[in-house]
Structure 1
Amino acid sequence: MPNMLKTPQGRQIAYHHTTGQGPTIVFLGGFKSDMGGTKAVHLEAWAQAQGRAFLRFDYSGHGESSEAFTDGAIGDWFADARAALDMVKGPLVLVGSSMGGWISLLCARAMPERIAGLVTIAAAPDFTEDSMWASFDASQRDALLRDGQIALPSEYGDPYIITRRLIEDGRDQLVLRSPLDLPFPVRFLQGTADLDVDVSVALRLMDHVTGDDVRLTLVKGADHRFSDLDCLDMITAAVTQVLDRAAD
């Protein structure tokens, strides 16, 4: 059973925290994903074997946390992440997958003094604007504004219900429209066969950020899940490299 954290907004956030040597490695999951996914659980097992502190959690409306998914937006999930990070002491290495990449960038911008390093996997910054809203046709935009939500098909199960609030709140959380300095070791991982986050997003992110130790690795043939054994090994290798650089 997970532990539960109450956020300042009153939401109940489910989490698993392993104590160990720092910095604490924190996994931030994707849109409609949860902390029981392959990457989060693999990384936790690896951290435990290394004797390292580790934290994984569910945003509100995800997994075992409170609230309905359709009630949430990027700003809410960012606030949930901040509450989870505030719960642990000391420096942090953030590992953000897909939307978690966006959330981790928001955290890094808001609290750079606590971030020892950052790893992203198919990071999807600003996706509500650049991927969703930009791809909607006139009838979809009209329906969203009129009805407050639309349904989008998903290859991962039930359709995604996209709310007007998700789109409008996302515009207040954009990270690619203003300077974004990442003054710590950063590793971006991206598959070339990713149908959800195009390689161009990773290249744009790489070009946009500033920092003295930022690298992008493109993995030919890897898809959005980035969860086969080779990809999982790449994630732990990237985290190891970031930890080593942070310790120098």
Structure 2
Amino acid sequence: MNHPIPDAVLDFIDVGEGPSARRIAARRRAAQESSQGPGLVWLGGFKSDMQGSKAVALDEWARDHGRAVVRFDYSGHGESGGDFVDGTIGRWLEESVAVFERFCDGPQILIGSSMGGWMALLLAREIKKRQKKLQAKASLAGLVLIAPAPDFTEELMWKNFPAAVKKEIETKGVWLRPSNYGDGLPYPITRNLIEEGRNHLLLGSAIDLGCPVRILQGAQDPDVPWQHAFALTHRLPADDVVLTMIQDGDHRLSRPQDIARILAAVAEIG
């Protein structure tokens, strides 16, 4: 007899100590016993949350295929605690590592959208480092990166900001950037975000992850130009890296045909 498939479980974990402690919300779905494929980990974008259309589509695909899946919100995003204004790449990476270590078992595919693409690359590097040191219970099966934005705080923000904006960030510590997404409200770009981001830049040297990488990029993306994805492929070893350019695709890549491509890339790995 068929048992009904349970909903994804909402869980919380605490990350950080003292004043930097925050509670991180995660939704996870266990693999069904018959399932063979790697688990999936969703890493969302800047100012996005785990209830976005791509994350939900991935969860539904995992449910239909009996695969384990974890998605979560960074601090200051969605259902997690903490303030967005306190966020940095390092802080969100610490949360990503904590979620991975707590909820993931066996081979995993990291699926990162926009800033989540940067997070996936950083998390993959962390996983590799830790595996050398100890027998970690989870490993890396591959990456699927959607309009990935590694180094965006430097390459796509700071280097493109007009002098007046840079001055405001340097003197006031924050600039309110107008937004075309979500609720349309401006959001804070802090000096801390920019400066701390420099500790995590990847595009200056080779990124050797030892696993397949699939990149999907819209040619009409106004936020992460396709040249950025191209620069990333040059930093990855050539053995199993595929860049798919979607000629009429935008930054979100959330249309049904885009989501179908993302799910096909996930299915291809492992």
TM exceeding 0.5 = yes
SS of the residue corresponding to residue 27 of structure 1 reads strand
Distance 1:49-1:73 versus aligned 2 partners, 3 A rule = same
SS of the residue corresponding to residue 6 of structure 1 reads strand
- What is the distance in 1 between the residues matched to 2:90 and 2:105? 23
- 2:110 paired residue among 74, 82, 94: 94
- 1:78 paired residue among 90, 93, 111: 93
| Aligned twin of 2:23 | 12
- What is the distance in 2 between the residues matched to 1:80 and 1:232? 26
- 2:256 paired residue among 196, 220, 229: 229
Deviation string, structure 1 residues 147-174 (Cα, Å, up to 9, x no partner): 0000111111111210000000100011
| Pairing 1:65-214 to 2, within 5 Å after superposition | 65-87=80-102, 88-112=104-128, 113=131, 114-156=139-181, 157-214=184-241
| Aligned twin of 1:24 | 39
- What is the distance in 1 between the residues matched to 2:46 and 2:110? 17
Residue-pair matches, total = 243
Q: Which amino acid aligns with 1:6?
A: D
SS of the residue corresponding to residue 49 of structure 1 reads helix
SS of the residue corresponding to residue 211 of structure 2 reads coil
Q: Which amino acid aligns with 1:152?
A: R
Q: CA deviation at 1:178?
A: 2.4
Q: CA deviation at 1:143?
A: 1.1
Unaligned runs of 5+ in 1: 244-248
Deviation string, structure 1 residues 173-213 (Cα, Å, up to 9, x no partner): 11112221121111000011111110000100011111521
Unaligned runs of 5+ in 2: 1-8, 132-138
- What is the distance in 1 between the residues matched to 2:86 and 2:73? 15
| Larger radius of gyration between Structure 1 and Structure 2 | 2
Q: Which amino acid aligns with 2:82?
A: E
| Aligned twin of 1:246 | none
TM-score normalized with structure 2 length = 0.87
Moved over 3 A (4+): none
Deviation string, structure 1 residues 121-146 (Cα, Å, up to 9, x no partner): 00000000001100112221111111
Q: Which amino acid aligns with 2:158?
A: W
SS of the residue corresponding to residue 158 of structure 1 reads coil
Q: Which stretch shifts more, 210-219 or 36-45?
A: 210-219
SS of the residue corresponding to residue 122 of structure 2 reads helix
- What is the distance in 2 between the residues matched to 1:8 and 1:90? 25
Does structure 2 conserve the Cα–Cα contact (< 8 Å) formed by 1:121 and 1:190?
yes
Q: Which amino acid aligns with 2:126?
A: A
Q: Which amino acid aligns with 1:53?
A: A
- What is the distance in 2 between the residues matched to 1:240 and 1:223? 23
SS of the residue corresponding to residue 4 of structure 1 reads strand
TM-score normalized with structure 1 length = 0.95
Q: Which amino acid aligns with 2:203?
A: L
Q: Which amino acid aligns with 1:187?
A: R
SS of the residue corresponding to residue 223 of structure 2 reads coil
Does structure 2 conserve the Cα–Cα contact (< 8 Å) formed by 1:184 and 1:212?
no
Does structure 2 conserve the Cα–Cα contact (< 8 Å) formed by 1:184 and 1:211?
no
